Structure 1
Amino acid sequence: MERLTAPSFNEIIILVLLALLVLLAQTAALCWGAARLDRHSIRRSLPEVSALAVVLCLTLFLSGGWRLYLMGLSPQDWITDERMAASVAAICTGIFAMRWTPRRGALLTAAGVCALPYFDRFLPTSAICVLALLAGRLLLLLRHARAQRTGEVTVASIREGLDLLPDGILLARTDHSAALVNIAMLVFMDRLLGRQYRNAAVFWQALTAFDAPAVAEKRMQTDAFLFRFTAGDAWLVQRVHLTGGLTGWQVTASCVTELDAVTQELETKNAALHAMISTRKELLVTLEQTERHRTLQEITARVHDVLGQRISMLQQLLASPAPKDALDTIVRIDSLLEAVPLMQEPHPATLLADMADTYRQLGIHLTLSGHLPRNMRRARAFAAIIREALSNAVCHGHANAVTITIHERRLRIRDNGIGCTHLHLGGGLTGISQRVNDLGGRLMITHTPHFELDARIGGMTV
């Protein structure tokens, strides 16, 4: 304790004032920690209480010991027990706090050690060390508090964050009065309507009544408006009623320029696609009608050819002067009266061979040279033309001899019939002409004194 009387009065006053400053700062730190009541409040408060006890005991020791010295009393054993208890508590609390705050815990532990009565022989250096350690700890605590306050969510931080958003936001209470409006929404109001609104209902009514094509084009949607400004940008304004325990309204204004451009492009493409689909449907209907008409013509021609052939065969059979066997005649007539095949006909070569054999059995002198074309389409057409020509030669020309010459791209048919004075394109000749035209060829007809057909495909002149 003799070291306590070594400093001058001014030095003691300075030490006491420093101790009081640290005491006030430590009290404020304790109050700040106590105000943050959560599950960590005890852990945060114990180091502050220990530090406050140390600095309080040190202040009382310096001021009270000097006072006793001035009064002529010995400061020996002045609050020694209290200082010992406060120092031990600070040491223990500091060691405990080092687990989560190492630097602050270490400073508190060191301050507790320097505040032990055993270090009084180093006064006032030990007292200065205690105050310096506690002051350093308070500075670390202050820096931590500032960092923590910066990361805290407050009304000001929320407003600042909303003002940084590119989208406009208006939060309104149940009575539609504005609780929070960010800068982007105010700028949007000024740009679109020329004024700012603090009531969500009034703002929505103004949007509903907006009609200024010179400023922006408006398109209404469900609880939303799309505005296309003349500058080229597009904004979507939406209104949502808050739910989930919240009451009030939220109105947002979002820039959707790129999305709107894509939407318009998709609408244009959808319209073009719809028009194309409609055109395709019309073409399909027309194609169906054309195909139906073509099929009907094909069936008609086939029926005409088959029936004409059978009639000519029947006529030749009945008019033949050769003696007739009754049973054979009945069999032949019965085969001629069979149903007309409307489905797929036999192979053209088979059909031609059957026709040649049948007509020869009926007494027709048939001369056949060449082979049907390798192309199946031309082969079927040539077989049908031969069938129709044989029928016309026997039935109408009363011919008993027919000469048929076949090439890959040419068909020539001549008979010895009576021919005709005036050529009349009936169903048979019309069908023959149509088949030749379908193959891209031309048909030459000689009708007197005998009948002759010359079909040439692809301009061949053989």
Structure 2
Amino acid sequence: MSDQLYNLTPVQMGAATALMGIGLLAACLLTMGQWLIHRRRLATVFLSSVGILLAFYTWAFATVFIHSQTGIFLLKDRNMGWFVVVCLVLGAATMGTNYRYAEMPLLVTLTPAMPPFVTAGGVWILLTSGALTTSWLCVQVWRDWQLLHSELSPFSVKGALDRLEHGVTFANFRGRSKFANVAMEGLLGRLGLTSLTNIGTLERQLCQFRFETKSSQAGSDSPNCWEANEDGTSQLRIKEPDGRTWVLTQSRIRDGRRSWIQLLAVDVSDYMTLSYRLSAEIDALQARQKRLVRETSRLDEALSRRLILSTRSTIHDTLSQRISFVHRFLEDEVSDDERLRRLQGLLEDLPSELSKDRVTATPEIWLETLQDLASAAELELHISGDLPPQADKARMFTEVLREAITNVLIHTTSNEMEVRLGQDASSFWMEVSNPSTVETTLTYGTGLSNLESRLEALGGSLSVYTTPRFTLRARLPR
């Protein structure tokens, strides 16, 4: 074959050398693509053999072009020509893979380069085979270039991951790093670390940048600073020297029979800043709310005191007027029935008189006011026990006491009165009595009848005794 090459003109030799060089470059590019991108082992070996074959012919044409007889002699071109058979055998081994559709034309173009065909047809058979092989290799390079830009591939996935603002890295089950995007490399670089470190060692190194919170300070003595979650992942919050905060999440993912460790880093600096601002706003709102509650309490207390004073003044004035009428009737020592009915009417319409101004008085106010006014009427009132906790029942007992005071002033000459309040397992009770006897006939008029009806409406009862001492007994269920 060497003698045949020397029969070519320098222009033909230069063109053949360039053609073989282009084919060699294309074969090298495809070999790297099959290994780095598609991960096809057999296709990589086959294309490597094609690259070796084209490298031989490139060197052969180059040495002839520069008139180097020694180079051709040492290369033993006849033996190297049979390497085409090796290429064809490796190509046949890849026919069961996905690469068979791309390599079938390549096997056809390589077949004429076998020594029998070259010996029979001359160097032009070799040049034609080389031209077709180089052309098809260039077509495959162009096709792979288009695939990198239009279809999903490891490079396109890496390009997409590099565009993420979050950091991500993958390692195999032994902890060896397989991939880290730009954001993760930048984060680790600013921390003085590298993604080439074993993932277990890297996780321990990241603990020194842990962002301390109140909850994490309590468990700072723990050897593992990563917080485990229920879903099997673990998290760690770290802080960069420049103040940026990241949340790292470590999880395990499976790809068929293989297991991978994924480490994801999310920049939460903006969220932390917003959280601090919201926390400050909430604290300020809570402080203002507490001040508002204090001011409202003071205002309610002032209004309550003013309302109590106004209510007690109204009750006091009204009752004083009624008691002055009672004293006048008693001082006249006239006890005809007409005057007694008028006197009783003055005392019985007291609640309606007090409700004209819609004054709300608590039972405690009524009790204190009745005690004060009893003293003003020279009636010594002794009260023991407490009113029921329910407001309606306590108010009902004050009505009983008011009616009892009315009857004592009208029907007796007593100047003292005893009031006992208590409760048992089933009811609250109130007993009002005085040591005097009834001097006038006691009848169930409007006051007592109305009082008895109201007690029965609440499920209670009223009992009146005139001997041996005047006594009113009222009961209300608990």
Which band: TM-score by shorter chain?
0.3 to 0.5
> Which protein shows a greater Rg?
1
